[in-house]
Structure 1
Amino acid sequence: MNGLTQLLPAVTFVCLWSTGFIGGRLGTPHADPLTFLWIRFAIAAVLLAGLALAAGSTWPRGKAALHLAVSGLLVHGVYLGGIFIAISLGVSAGLVALIAGLQPLLTGAMSGWLLGVPVRPLQWAGLALGLVGVILVLWEKLASQTGLPPLGIALAFLGLLAITFGTIYQKRYVAPGDLRSAAAWQYAVCTVAYALVVPWLEPMHVEWTGEFIFALAWLVLVLSVGAILLFFTLIQRGSAAGVASLMYLVPPLTALVAWGLFGEHLGPLALLGMAVTAAAVALVNRPARPAPLPAPREA
């Protein structure tokens, strides 16, 4: 039962997180990407602040507030900004998910240096296997995508770097605390930062269509509130490499959702990639064997 209790939040997080790329695809045709995110951050900050106040949560102060602000700007502000602009420029949701799927390898490479937590050989094998699985899932999409905008690709990679360093930064500097007030503070910081930047970068066009309102509501309630609280919980409980390895499951699930909603092709190669990816995540998150006890010495 304990294993199921630990597994359930991880599975739920992956299922929720994989819908973020689909929400971006639904919403960005009706609003400028950063304006879309600004509205999302503001609503999420208000909702989470209300939950924190109702629960009597303690609020971050001093260095804790500063560290949360830095990690929030990276994980939310820069990562999502890069992803949403890339999608709005014409990079497919599948290809953006593939680029973001490189995070586990990058996190694994950086964890030993920045966190002092070496990645075991079995974990490295799992990380490499996961990359193979992700490429198999999206190979057809990658091969068929022509005329890629260089700026969009560059911004997708910027988002990859941001969420990688943001995850490691939060694991290293942010002590466990109340998740509601922490997330509310991060979204509030991103809202203020976007208020200073977005009016200079975009005309802030929004079409309040039914599709846009649905995408906004989904991204706020399911992603910005539900998935992020789970993400914080997983970071506090697990290693940075282990948490990041869950991201390998996002591109396959994104491909599944896109197949169901938009009729995008999903062939045998993609199905094989999904199986390989699942095996890779199991390898990365496999607990290390305890060191054997020394043999008793003869009297």
Structure 2
Amino acid sequence: MERDDLKLAETGGEAPPTPAPEVTSVPAWVSAGIPAVFVVLWSSAFIAAVIGTDAAPPLLLTFSRFAVAGVLLTVIALVSKAPWPKGRLLLHVVVTGLLMQAVQFGAFYTAIGAGLPGGVVALIQGFNPVLIALMAGFFLGEKITRQQWLGFTIGGAGVALAVAGALHFSGTAIVLSFVGLLGLSAGTVYQKRFTQGADVRSSTALHFLASAPVMLVMTLTLEEPKVTDWGAFGGSLAWIVLINSVGTFLLLNFMLKKQTASRVGTLFFLTPAVTALLAWLVIGQTLSPSAIIGLVLGGVGVLLAARK
């Protein structure tokens, strides 16, 4: 009791404040699970795109995705009082958004709308870490090892085999898939190089807001923007916006802030196999034997190329 009275006297008769509880860090299993969740959610976008492009033209679906997601993320950024980029940083964020959103998904959705299987599109997109490594070697002077060159060769053979099995589809669709790959890879490297100081919430919102007008002009000039199945269109759009546009890109931007671009890029080598499995389970879409072999070779090649 005397010690307690002494402490009260030293503090002016008031009990000393109770120490604040320590803030625990994010559990390790949560951090470890984020990449796996990202891969599954990212892969599901191809399935939703197949459903959506059966119900409406691809560029209309792309515009609708960007417009709705842009408004939703803008509200989130404003409510959470996220800082908005200004000046040169704003310009870099816009360029990143045009590459990662307008170029990538405008091209991918048009390819899927032309009938190219989601698994083949995902395989081409899965070559993203290889292209990132090549860009890093060319623009940043990073050394490319023999193992990476071996991975490039095997992965390239896998992509060629899968694409050869899909040549009965539009050749333009295959070219567009590679254009989408270029947009994603260039956007990833550009974002890592120039927009590290941007807030994830506001920058992702600006990605969509900058890309939506481009897609609007394209859908009005290049196709007839008409929905033939509002149920399928609304369902796929809701999934693409809430899960893929908001969820996966917040996860992607978060991981890009915490890890190197090449390490994040390695996750994309898993998406072709996951996409093919989801396509079979959800919409009954199957791949030819050559495409399946190409899928396996592509995954092995990209894995080799992405490993340090």
Aligned partners of 1:95 and 1:276: how far apart in 2?
11
Aligned partners of 2:239 and 2:180: how far apart in 1?
21
Report if the CA contact (8 A) 2:58-2:110 is conserved: yes
Give the one of 228, 231, 237 matched to 2:249: 228
Aligned partners of 1:222 and 1:116: how far apart in 2?
36
Q: CA deviation at 1:118?
A: 3.7
Output the aligned Cα RMSD.
Answer: 3.0
Aligned partners of 1:231 and 1:94: how far apart in 2?
21
Letter in 2 for 1:194: M
Counterpart in 1 of 2:49? 24
Counterpart in 1 of 2:4? none
Counterpart in 2 of 1:192? 213
Report if the CA contact (8 A) 1:34-1:84 is conserved: yes
Between 1:235-244 and 1:246-255, the stretch displaced more is 235-244
Q: CA deviation at 1:277?
A: 3.7
SS at match of 1:18: helix
Q: CA deviation at 1:267?
A: 9.7
SS at match of 2:198: coil
Aligned partners of 1:214 and 1:71: how far apart in 2?
28
Q: CA deviation at 1:238?
A: 2.0
Per-residue CA deviation, residues 142-182 of structure 1 (Å, 9 max, x unaligned), is 63x35221211111111111111111111111124321111
Aligned partners of 2:295 and 2:126: how far apart in 1?
13
Q: Which has the larger radius of gyration?
A: 2
Letter in 2 for 1:221: L
Are 1:253 and 2:267 an aligned pair? no
Q: TM-score, normalised by structure 1?
A: 0.83
Counterpart in 2 of 1:88? 113
Unaligned runs of 5+ in 1: 287-299
Q: CA deviation at 1:201?
A: 1.4
Per-residue CA deviation, residues 172-208 of structure 1 (Å, 9 max, x unaligned), is 1112432111111111111122233331112211235
Query: Percent identity, aligned pairs only?
Result: 34
* Count of residues paired in the alignment: 282
Between 1:79-88 and 1:97-106, the stretch displaced more is 97-106
Counterpart in 1 of 2:85? 60
Report if the CA contact (8 A) 2:279-2:285 is conserved: yes
> What pairs up with 1:1-299 in 2 under 5 angstroms?
4-119=29-144, 139=162, 143=165, 145-265=166-286, 270=292, 277=299, 281=303, 284=306
Letter in 1 for 2:53: T
Aligned partners of 1:197 and 1:89: how far apart in 2?
16
Q: TM-score, normalised by structure 2?
A: 0.80
Unaligned runs of 5+ in 2: 1-25
SS at match of 1:19: helix
Between 1:145-154 and 1:186-195, the stretch displaced more is 145-154
Aligned partners of 1:5 and 1:125: how far apart in 2?
34
